Amino acid sequence: MSTTSHGKTAPLAAYITWLVLLSAVAYIIEATNTGGYCNFPEYLWRPLPDGTERKWLNRAIYKGNSETWTRRKEVVVLRRKIVVSLVSREPCGETTNSTGSPDICYRTQVLFTYRCLAEEATDKFRVVIQRDKKDEFTCLKLKRRDTHVVQLWAARKNEVNEDSLCHEEALKRDPWPWISSRLDEWQPIPLTGGFDFGAHIEGRKTKLCRKQWRPSRVESDCVLGDGVRFFFPDERCSIFENVELEQRLHCWGSWEEDDFRFVILSRSSQKPQYTLRLPKTTENRRDVVGALYYSPLCPLKGSGKPPSDVLFVQLHMRRSDNGACYDESEMCAQFARQGRCTNSALYKYANHCKKSCGRFSHLVPSVRAECHFPSDYLGHWLLYDSMRSEHVTIGEGQVTFSLLGNFICKSKHWEKNHYKLLSVYQNGCRPRYTCAHFRRDSNRVLLFRLSKSSLVDRSFELCKFEDDATPLDGRVSSKALKILLPQEKTQFDSCGVDGAVNVHAVLGDSHPRRGSLSDLSQASGCQPRPELSLSVDARDLPETLAWRCAAYVELQPGRNVLITATETYGKSTNQCWLVFTDDEGRWKKASLLNRPQCGTTKDFDSASEADTGVIGLTVVNYMTSCDHPKPAAVTPTPTPVARPRTPATTPRQVTSTPSATTWSDILIMTIDNHEKYQRRSGGSRPKAPKLTITGGATVCLPTTLVQLAMLCLIVLLTSR
């Protein structure tokens, strides 16, 4: 009996042995062809929002304090390898362009390639360096400092792949971070307020522009998204080449490290060029000493001295006086005693010494309200934009934004609903003037927009409404009117369904599908929760979408707005739904729009005529219990809801992500726009699922097309 059994299992064991060996060979071939055995973090190689390849810049060298770079490294990260190239910028020989200046040529040279061998620990990767047919080994530690900034630690290169390469003591910090080549979203600046400063070139004791009595100034994010603005009393005081009196810089990212805070900056629409190094704590400090580097370099040593080919200046900053009545210089009191407030040109001294020359009160703006808003503007409102939410309070003579701050009403246009507003700060920022336009909608919402702010009172010439430049894109000042929702009609952390419903769902440009919608929690006894889940039958492929509910607003009987939020790669994005209900408040129809704001009468009238949103829902009936289909393992990051696009191209993704590679990895799943389903898990290669065969043999199931082909070949051969 045992002999017969052994005779039957021997061929099976042989087949299994061959299968294991061939699978191992296929795995090695695949790893070699794709560049390695492990994956680098997805944030390094994930394409930009428009689908273009993501590049990282490193070691960019600029000419002095100009915006002209001479050489830099460009880093392209694939899943399993990193390609590092050197790009040089130089004149093209004797050729010249139409302006008479030499044409510029760019030369690119691939320096080396990192191939991922193994993920040692969190953020550590053992790699092989391939350069000029010579392989060396090292270990990389990658730390994401911000969305656009990554810092690198590396071990010394070694001809042998030693275990000690990834020990913490073997890793050395690179003072040159990797910075994304494109700024695709706004970044806040950790330093807020206004400072007077003196500049010392390369650490010299002699201050730049020491004979000018008015100091240079720097203001940081006085208005949300304003960036860092440098002001110079004289063009000879400028610390930037070809800049006379003002220079604005935008933030690419910031972080704290040891005793310092680093901020990466650039000029408008330019590549990252500057690093501002500050003490870790600047809040409530009057005097701050920082350094501005003219290349994106982040030294940690106390002196902060950079390499000889990088210029830097030391900034000795003192926080400016608060309010609207201030002196720009300590010499103002002396000038007032000398009678210069009246004996000289009015704006030469009095306009810069408002506190000492106080008798000229017309030069100091009053902080009292001088106009009032209509009664139907007054109250508490909510602003939900694409990536922020804000409380807005309108009183008789002022508007207060929870993020933008306080605005005092100074005057109203005689014909239009335009208001000149004044902002006064207590952090050293100078007063600013802004124009606001309000309009009341019949659907209980209030529309508004803000102009760009100005340090000078230009009356209603301020009322030129334009979108902020990229990457703000209209987040603060805007051309279009924004929607304020009434807070008193709002249920926070509510989806408004209060049950489970069967629906007909239209996703993008697809045909209606059956599905179920619910905001109930089975775990807590069918109680409503601030999470909305939609399960849809999609061509025999179940699909579940989920949103976090931020606010449900009743605007008029039967007309409601639902604000939801999703997280994609750690960033929260708001969406807006139009919800039609019956007399009892039960959902009848809803549309998820491809924009973060909605709620006007026009929005509801358009939605009632046709399904214009990303998702359109028609309620069939309410369920009597919460035994509706339970959402399948929704992973919060990335959220399965597509980013707002035109309805015809909105992708739909399966939300359940397998913890290990499964047979579904070789399927091409087509939903709506026929996108290829791709597994998003980063890090090291997951283990293949195993199959236990009767008799105790265990084999790994195929996880690639190559391995599947090998298996099919074995099956064909053994079946003969």
In this predicted model, which residue has the larger pLDDT, 35 or 251? 251
Range 657-664 contact pairs with CB under 8 angstroms and sequence separation of 24 or more: 657/633, 657/681, 659/686, 660/686, 660/687, 660/688, 660/689, 661/686, 661/687, 661/688, 661/689, 661/703, 662/689, 663/701
Query: Of all helices (H) and strands (E), which one includes residue 44?
Result: helix 42-45
Residue 109 has pLDDT above 80, yes or no: yes
Question: What are φ and ψ of residue 322, in 5° steps?
Answer: -85, 170
Per the CB < 8 A criterion, the answer to whether 242 and 66 are in contact is yes
Q: What is the pLDDT of residue 539?
A: 63
Contacts of 427 (CB under 8 A, 6+ apart): 192, 193, 194, 222, 319, 322
Question: Across the strands, what pairs with 327?
Answer: 353
Residue 609 has pLDDT above 70, yes or no: no
Per the CB < 8 A criterion, the answer to whether 680 and 635 are in contact is no
DSSP letters spanning 505-566: EEETTSPPEEEEEEEEEGGGTSEEEEEEEEEEEETTEEEEEEEEEEEEEEEETTEEEEEEEE
Measured in whole angstroms, how far is the alpha carbon of residue 473 from the centre of its chain?
A: 13
Average pLDDT in the chain: 81
Per the CB < 8 A criterion, the answer to whether 557 and 441 are in contact is no
Q: What is the pLDDT of residue 184?
A: 82
Which has the minimum average pLDDT: 167-171, 224-228, 296-300, 599-603? 224-228
Q: What is the pLDDT of residue 95?
A: 60
Handedness of CA 73, 142, 83, 676 (dihedral sign): negative
Residues of the chain with pLDDT > 90: what percent?
Answer: 53
Residue 657 has pLDDT above 50, yes or no: no
| Mean pLDDT of the 494-518 span | 87
Residue 23 has pLDDT above 80, yes or no: no
Cis amide bond preceding 471, omega within 30? yes
Beta strands in 424-486 (DSSP E): 432-440, 446-450, 482-486
Backbone dihedral region for residue 202 (phi beyond 0: left; psi -120 to 50: alpha; all else: beta): left
Residue 719 has pLDDT above 60, yes or no: no
- pLDDT tens-digit series, residues 534-559: 988 766 555 678 999 999 999 999 99
| Mean pLDDT of the 552-581 span | 92
d(CA 398, CA 428): 21
- Structural Rg of the chain based on CA atoms: 32
Which has the minimum average pLDDT: 19-33, 235-249, 471-485, 588-602? 19-33
Residue 668 has pLDDT above 70, yes or no: no
Strand 102-121 to 216-220 pairing: unpaired
| Residue length of the chain | 720
Handedness of CA 269, 272, 273, 277 (dihedral sign): positive
Question: Among 328-337, 483-492, 650-659, 665-674, which range has the highest average pLDDT?
Answer: 483-492
Per the CB < 8 A criterion, the answer to whether 513 and 652 are in contact is no
Residue 268 has pLDDT above 80, yes or no: yes
In eight-state DSSP terms, residue 215 is P
- pLDDT tens-digit series, residues 131-160: 987 899 999 999 999 989 999 999 999 999
Per the CB < 8 A criterion, the answer to whether 382 and 551 are in contact is yes
Residue 458 has pLDDT above 50, yes or no: yes
Q: The pTM is what?
A: 0.78
In this predicted model, which residue has the larger pLDDT, 22 or 269? 269
Residue 188 has pLDDT above 50, yes or no: yes
Per the CB < 8 A criterion, the answer to whether 269 and 469 are in contact is yes
Question: Across the strands, what pairs with 62?
Answer: 69
Question: What are φ and ψ of residue 332, in 5° steps?
Answer: -60, -40
Q: How far is CA 40 from CA 140, 154, 166, 168, in A?
A: 10, 15, 16, 19
Strand 228-231 to 446-450 pairing: unpaired
Question: What are φ and ψ of residue 691, in 5° steps?
Answer: -125, 125
Q: What is the pLDDT of residue 679?
A: 27
Give residue 228's pLDDT band: very low, low, confident or very high (50, 70, 90). Answer: very high
- Please tell me whether residue 91 adopts helix, strand or coil conformation: strand
| Mean pLDDT of the 348-363 span | 80
Give the per-residue SS3 of 565-585. EEEECCEEEEEEEEEEECCCC
Contacts of 434 (CB under 8 A, 6+ apart): 407, 420, 421, 422, 423, 450, 451, 452, 453, 454, 462
Residue 22 has pLDDT above 90, yes or no: no
Residue 56, both tokens: 């990282």
Q: What is the pLDDT of residue 32?
A: 44
For residue 656, give the nearest of 676, 670, 636, 642 by alpha carbon.
636
